[in-house]
Structure 1
């Protein structure tokens, strides 16, 4: 660090304020309108072809954050664009520098948060030689790439499981396949084969190969197909498979409010509504048990569903697949626990269907109050359709969802480890405590 130059930000960058897009042009083009917070629409023209370093200069909750804009973007007046001299500084190095050295202290603190170009110009920045910048950015970016790759794997795994759930219990595709085969003059065996195709995605030739090469797997698939009816019946929700029932979430789970014994522990992992997102737990950090907010009250255990009462569309929900004894959760998180032999993991899939989320959001917005909120009474009335004996639900949970969740949790744990390692390395790399001069990589000198 002692050998690094200290430069003023204006020595390595020009600055420009973003521009307010014209309302009549918004969402009439293909280029992302980037506020600094998010992509807010699309525009027929762009301001910057390449990604740029962007300082959020206005707005609630993000003023002072530094981000990188998308390619071919139109940057709005909520942000300032730093037009870097790329012969002197690396975009990603500066991005990581500002992740470790927040600019939030520059916020004027007035009623309307604001940072100006003048605030940025005289900032003093430690700047190592350009190859060192590239190497530091490369190391940190390698962690972020792996984290992003794991997240994409999890998204794919979840999408696959959700697709099977929708096929079996919402669209009833195996039953429809059976009906279509029978209506075409086929036999019961033809109907079963059609359902096997709907379940597995394999055509007749692939199923025949499975029958000869993996007979046990074939017979298991056939047994599952036989559990689907070959006709429909009328219900209050429309046509559903013959012999199936319309059920409610409240008949399968109940809301639990067991108080966590905070006085018996010195520290604990506190989960608020913002600490879970679409199945993921966003941290595992322990806090002083004597210094927690008043809403830190509820105990949880393995198999519980956590579902935020506030704004269902934000997808603040998760399934507890760990012991839970070291966790206390907010009173704004419903803790749902199974009361029957139906796995709560199945109910989790019911409640995380987009159609259900949309319904709950509508109900939340119809309620008078400070913000859109639901109660267990509303959630308990959510309908789902299933067979009377629950055998198919058991097969879905054991053979499809549980293996998916094991992989999901494995990937998520690796994400947490990678994130913690990256965050530990970040200040050491940016202070020069870790010497990267000997690091070699393709393009590190470019």
Structure 2
């Protein structure tokens, strides 16, 4: 089917229903179905495990229940226009700052529509609506007037299939990384909370009668000490003004980049508006902004020009042997609780932690030999995490290059399939 045969539709032409969402308070406890909110759309792929719940009566549940193929779009604030197509059979309803468009599957393939709504064509339309507004936002009627060119259903499915291959690999990488992170935390807990690290004979220390000494926080293995985070790290505040080097390509670790993909953005100095911290190899970044949302980054440092937002605390280990121990400690629930406890400011996203307050976090200081053994175990996990992050970023770039070309008819499906196959072979 040639591009000239594609038909133009408004969003409202391909929907059977358009609805605003349900107003309720999100609950962490399982009091009802999952409650999809704008904040749950900040990543490309919804992490349903982190989506909270809400209470709802049976009548409203039927009205707001999400089904596979539903298109949900944020309608307010800086997030106006971000969207998702429901691809899993999840017991969920949608919140009031979202608009749900029930797609007519006799006309369109929801996966094809998903890619249209990730394109610059859609976001350009959104920007034309909200430009000049004091408070960005768009209503359902404005959104429903968005026009797009669409091929027949068979061609839609072919295009969606090509792009979905890349997305499925990205999702798989994300799942693998989540498992690897959980594995690292489980090993950390076994070694440094349960004290079942291997003794000189390879046996679990505590279970095998290992010796303990008393400390302020309780019994700890003989030869270990107590201290604070200050004993393990220095906070690096060396900064740079990227605008002074407009032609340098910076590896920029920002809060939005973390939230979107946990991958740095590569930007020229002229594109970056404010001072940034220099990021040195072997350092770790922890967001001081809104600590209830955990953001811990093990930077890739692919280039010599790595920088970070000043909203990150930039920790540099005093000793390289501490690195994997620090990585797991900064990712621990106990450290997250410390940040939340020491946050100041109004509620929500305006809360911050003072970097100096984090240095008072109580830690156990294991002996050097144990730290080296732990690093030998965890370092390969961290390296695999980084490889998967890089591969996913490459896959996303290929997808985003192919997307407008397929949607404009510049390339046909067979050519795109060849490019996808080459990309997948390189990423394996």
- 2:308 alignment partner, SS class: strand
Measured after TM superposition, the shift of residue 95 of structure 1 is: 1.4
2:405 touches 2:411 (CA, 8 Å); kept in 1?
Answer: yes
1:118 to 97, 118, 141: 141
Matched, 1:385 2:364: yes
1:251 to 231, 245, 248: 231
Query: How far does the alpha carbon of each residue in 1:252-286 deviate from its partner, in whole angstroms, 9 at most, with x for none?
Result: 211122244854672232322333369x7423423
Measured after TM superposition, the shift of residue 371 of structure 1 is: 2.7
Partner of 1:41: 53
2:233 touches 2:316 (CA, 8 Å); kept in 1?
Answer: yes
2:345 touches 2:352 (CA, 8 Å); kept in 1?
Answer: no
Measured after TM superposition, the shift of residue 423 of structure 1 is: 0.8
Measured after TM superposition, the shift of residue 363 of structure 1 is: 0.3
Measured after TM superposition, the shift of residue 85 of structure 1 is: 1.9
Moved more, 332-341 or 16-25: 16-25
1:222 to 186, 201, 207: 201
Moved more, 4-13 or 349-358: 4-13
Partner of 1:205: none
Matched, 1:433 2:410: yes
Measured after TM superposition, the shift of residue 291 of structure 1 is: 4.2
Separation in 2, partners of 1:367, 1:236 = 34
Moved more, 404-413 or 314-323: 314-323
- 2:183 alignment partner, SS class: helix
For residues 303-318 of structure 1, the aligned pairs below 5 Å read: 303-318=282-297
Separation in 2, partners of 1:26, 1:248 = 31
Give the greater-gyration-radius structure (CA): 1
1:274 touches 1:316 (CA, 8 Å); kept in 2?
Answer: no
For residues 94-105 of structure 1, the aligned pairs below 5 Å read: 94-100=113-119, 101-102=122-123, 103-105=125-127
Change (3 A) 1:341 1:153: closer
For residues 18-167 of structure 1, the aligned pairs below 5 Å read: 18-21=20-23, 29-38=31-40, 39-42=51-54, 43=56, 45-47=61-63, 48=65, 50-56=67-73, 58-69=75-86, 71=89, 72-100=91-119, 101-102=122-123, 103-105=125-127, 106-107=129-130, 110=133, 113-167=136-190
Separation in 2, partners of 1:361, 1:140 = 40
Measured after TM superposition, the shift of residue 226 of structure 1 is: 6.4
Measured after TM superposition, the shift of residue 302 of structure 1 is: 1.2
Change (3 A) 1:117 1:349: closer
- 1:6 alignment partner, SS class: strand
Measured after TM superposition, the shift of residue 80 of structure 1 is: 2.4
Separation in 1, partners of 2:272, 2:383 = 31
For residues 266-281 of structure 1, the aligned pairs below 5 Å read: 266-269=247-250, 270-276=252-258, 281=262
Change (3 A) 1:121 1:395: closer
Change (3 A) 1:113 1:402: same
Provide the TM-score with structure 2 as the length reference: 0.80
Separation in 2, partners of 1:372, 1:349 = 24
1:19 touches 1:75 (CA, 8 Å); kept in 2?
Answer: yes
1:224 touches 1:392 (CA, 8 Å); kept in 2?
Answer: no
- 1:89 alignment partner, SS class: coil
- 1:61 alignment partner, SS class: helix
Separation in 1, partners of 2:153, 2:26 = 43
Query: How far does the alpha carbon of each residue in 1:354-410 deviate from its partner, in whole angstroms, 9 at most, with x for none?
Result: 1111111110137999932223321111121133x3210111012x11111121111
5+ residue gaps, structure 2? 41-50, 418-428
Separation in 2, partners of 1:303, 1:439 = 39
Provide the TM-score with structure 1 as the length reference: 0.77
Measured after TM superposition, the shift of residue 57 of structure 1 is: 5.1
Moved more, 100-109 or 130-139: 100-109
Separation in 2, partners of 1:413, 1:150 = 10
Matched, 1:350 2:305: no
Measured after TM superposition, the shift of residue 333 of structure 1 is: 2.3
2:8 touches 2:147 (CA, 8 Å); kept in 1?
Answer: yes
Change (3 A) 1:29 1:305: closer
Change (3 A) 1:4 1:326: same
Separation in 1, partners of 2:148, 2:380 = 48
Separation in 2, partners of 1:275, 1:321 = 13
Partner of 1:9: 11
Matched, 1:286 2:286: no
5+ residue gaps, structure 1? 175-194, 197-220, 441-446
